[in-house]
Structure 1
Amino acid sequence: MATINVGIIMNGVTGRMGTNQHLIRSIVAIRKQGGVALPNGDVIMPDPVLVGRQESKLKALAEANGIERWTTDLDACLAESYNQIYFDSQTTVLRAQGVRKAIAAGKHIYCEKPTAESLAESLELAKLARDKGIKNGVVQDKLFLPGLIKLKRLIDAGFFGRILSVRLEFGYWVFEGDMIPCQRPSWNYRKEDGGGIIVDMFAHWRYVLDNLFGEVKSVSCLGVTHIHERFDEKGEKYVCTADDAAYATFEIAGGIVAQVNSSWTTRVDRDDLVTIHVDGTDGSAVAGLRECKTQHKVNTPKPVWNPDIPNPFNFQEQWENVPDNQLFDNGFKIQWELFLKHIVIDTPFPWDLLEGAKGTQLAELGLQSWKERRWIDIPDLNL
């Protein structure tokens, strides 16, 4: 058995998502489990170098997680041939610049989404990677959530018959930051800094809808800035210039209609922060982050509309849970393991920069639909 060390430049992991999901729960967890096992008995061992702008944060993060390498010099990292992969989880306004430099240095690319601020720039990155002949991938973590894995099983098994519609509800109340601290970074609510829920979440909804139900063909979107003033990390008031809620309808190949509400200004009365309700001719299902419940045609009750009497049904009890049937690992970690295998032994990895560009495209067209107050058809993307 051989250990294959893979140097990974991790840029921007001092942020919440980069620290918790990509570093601690993915790369550090993979190292603690002894690496990623390959079919021939060899093991891939990720060897990260943490890159950022603040030495104190990098040093503390590295020491807390048993990582020896950290630096503020990205160019030096890119110049080292040992570092094969460049990972980027910086803010959206900085990502394309870092990815572009890494491509020029011949590094394989793995990055968060959105991959860039505009579709044109996202496509540029995909073309640069293709022309350079390097492998590349984009984080599409929600595909690996237990709830969505169970939902995909139902779809593949033909449980729904013909799928008719999808209703996706996402969001929670993000505090303004005056009496109770805000639980999201302030840049999320400034358009000039790359903020906005459409830019943030439509990149997710594109790959979720495409991979589960079919290609998204058109969009109608209304964005809103419900909260006009918030308080930043220093407790200073600022004006919100980005949308904090979006109400969208998507047409999906095969005649499926998807209604998607995304909001940082809603209080949750659902089973989870995100729920996907799917209705089909033969059955329905509701999936959350971890759980999924079903109601088949033969088990569907027959309610009758009568507001003059108390509701005789307990609708929540009329659903059956889909069992786990397996142990579910962290979704970010699963995709990291798949990408590492893709780099070392060339196993398939379909979620590349072109797929990432599709998310940027949907966000861009969603913003256009909002501005022009009309439906927008979604053209095919090709390099």
Structure 2
Amino acid sequence: MAVKKIGIIMNGVTGRMGTNQHLVRSIVAIRQQGGVVLSNGDLIMPDPILVGRNEDKLQALAEKHGIERWSTNLEQCLADPHNVIYFDSQTTVRRAEAIRKAIKAGKHIYCEKPTATSLEESLELAQLAYEAGVKTGVVQDKLFLPGLLKLKRLIDSGFFGKILSVRMEFGYWVFEGDWQAGQRPSWNYRKEDGGGIIVDMFAHWRYVLDNLFGNVKSVSCLGVTHIPKRLDEQGHPYACTADDAAYATFELEGDIVVQANSSWAVRVNREDLLTIQVDGTEGSAVAGLRDCKVQHRVNTPKPVWNPDIENPFNFSEQWQTVPDNQNFDNGFKVQWELFLKHVVTDEPFIWNLLEGAKGTQLAELAIQSWDERRWIAVPELSLGVKQSDAVEASK
């Protein structure tokens, strides 16, 4: 049994997602389980170096989780041939510049989304990586959630018949910071810092819709800033310049209609922070982050509209739970393991920088739809065409 040690530059891991999901629950967890086992019995062992701007935070984080290497010098890390993967979970406005440097240094790229602040820049990164011959991956974690994996199982089995529509509800109340601290960083609510729920969440909705139901063909969107003022991490008031809610409709191939509400200014009265209802000719399903329930055609009750009597139905009891039938690991960790196998053994990994650019494209077009108050077509993206032509086709 051979052990393949892989140096990974992890830039931006002092942030909430970088620390919790990518470092602790993914890379540290992989190291603790003894690495990633390959089909021939060999192991991939991640060897991370934590990179950021705050020396004290990096040192404390490294010591807490048994990481030997950390640095505030990205260029030095990129110059070290031991480091073969560059990972980026910085704020969006800092991501593209660092990825360019990593591609130039010949590193394989794995990063959070959005991959850049514009479609043009996202496509540029994908093209640069393609020309450099480096492998790329973009975090598309929701595809690996237990609820969505069960939903995919239903789709693959033909449970729904012809899928007619999808209804997505996402969000929760993010406190304004006055009498309770907010659960999200303040930059999320400043457009000039790359904030906004459309930029944040539509990158997710693109890969969820494309991979589960069909390619997005057009979008109509209304964005709103419901909360105009919040308090930052130091308790200072600031104006919210980015959207904190978005109400969108998508048309997919196959004539599937999707309605998606996303909000950081909504109180939760549903079974999970994200629920996806799928209705088809043969059956329906509602998936959350972990659970999924179904109602088949033959088990569908016959409600009758009568507002003059008490409701005789308990609608929630009329659904059946989809069993786990497998063990579900952390979705971020699962995708990390797949990308590591992709780098070492060339196993397939479809979620590359071009797929990441599709998320940026959808966010841009949704904002354009909001600005112009109209439906916007979503053209196909591909490498090998002029970036300006691809961007123009999206307008």
TM-score of the superposed pair, with normalisation by structure 2: 0.97
Q: Equivalents in 1 of 2:91, 2:54: separation in Å?
A: 15
Q: Equivalents in 1 of 2:379, 2:326: separation in Å?
A: 39
Q: Equivalents in 1 of 2:382, 2:186: separation in Å?
A: 35
Question: 1:315 aligns to what?
Answer: 315
Q: Equivalents in 1 of 2:183, 2:213: separation in Å?
A: 32
- Cα deviation digits, residues 330-359 of structure 1 (max 9, x gap): 000000000000000000000000000000
Is 1:28 the counterpart of 2:28? The answer is yes
Q: Equivalents in 1 of 2:248, 2:13: separation in Å?
A: 31
Q: Equivalents in 1 of 2:289, 2:378: separation in Å?
A: 28
TM-fit CA distance, 1:40: 0.5
Q: Unmatched 5+ residue regions in structure 1?
A: none
The code of the aligned residue for 2:85 comes to: I
TM-fit CA distance, 1:252: 0.4
Question: 1:340 aligns to what?
Answer: 340
The code of the aligned residue for 2:333 comes to: K
Q: Equivalents in 2 of 1:136, 1:198: separation in Å?
A: 24
Question: 1:15 aligns to what?
Answer: 15
Give 1:2-81 correspondences, 5 Å limit: 2-81=2-81
Question: 1:367 aligns to what?
Answer: 367
Question: 1:128 aligns to what?
Answer: 128
Question: 1:270 aligns to what?
Answer: 270
Q: Equivalents in 1 of 2:255, 2:175: separation in Å?
A: 38
TM-fit CA distance, 1:368: 0.2
- Aligned to 2:227, what secondary structure does the other structure show? coil
- Aligned to 1:234, what secondary structure does the other structure show? coil
Q: Equivalents in 1 of 2:361, 2:331: separation in Å?
A: 24
Q: Equivalents in 1 of 2:247, 2:209: separation in Å?
A: 16
Is 1:255 the counterpart of 2:265? The answer is no
Question: 1:213 aligns to what?
Answer: 213
TM-score of the superposed pair, with normalisation by structure 1: 1.00
The code of the aligned residue for 2:2 comes to: A
- Cα deviation digits, residues 221-267 of structure 1 (max 9, x gap): 00000000000000000000000000000000000000000000000
- Aligned to 1:47, what secondary structure does the other structure show? strand
TM-fit CA distance, 1:382: 1.1
Question: 2:294 aligns to what?
Answer: 294
TM-fit CA distance, 1:65: 0.3
Q: Equivalents in 1 of 2:310, 2:303: separation in Å?
A: 12
TM-fit CA distance, 1:182: 0.5
Question: 1:93 aligns to what?
Answer: 93
Question: 1:189 aligns to what?
Answer: 189
TM-fit CA distance, 1:202: 0.1
The code of the aligned residue for 2:121 comes to: E
Question: 2:161 aligns to what?
Answer: 161
TM-fit CA distance, 1:327: 0.7
Q: Equivalents in 1 of 2:100, 2:149: separation in Å?
A: 33
- Aligned to 1:218, what secondary structure does the other structure show? strand
- Aligned to 1:29, what secondary structure does the other structure show? helix
Q: Equivalents in 1 of 2:315, 2:102: separation in Å?
A: 53
- Aligned to 1:137, what secondary structure does the other structure show? strand
Question: 1:356 aligns to what?
Answer: 356
- Aligned to 1:325, what secondary structure does the other structure show? coil
Q: Equivalents in 2 of 1:13, 1:98: separation in Å?
A: 14
- Cα deviation digits, residues 145-185 of structure 1 (max 9, x gap): 00000000000000000000000000000000000000100
- Aligned to 2:48, what secondary structure does the other structure show? strand
- Aligned to 1:340, what secondary structure does the other structure show? helix
- Cα deviation digits, residues 297-342 of structure 1 (max 9, x gap): 0000000111011111000000000000111000000000000000
Q: Unmatched 5+ residue regions in structure 2?
A: 384-395
Question: 1:172 aligns to what?
Answer: 172
Q: Equivalents in 1 of 2:99, 2:266: separation in Å?
A: 35
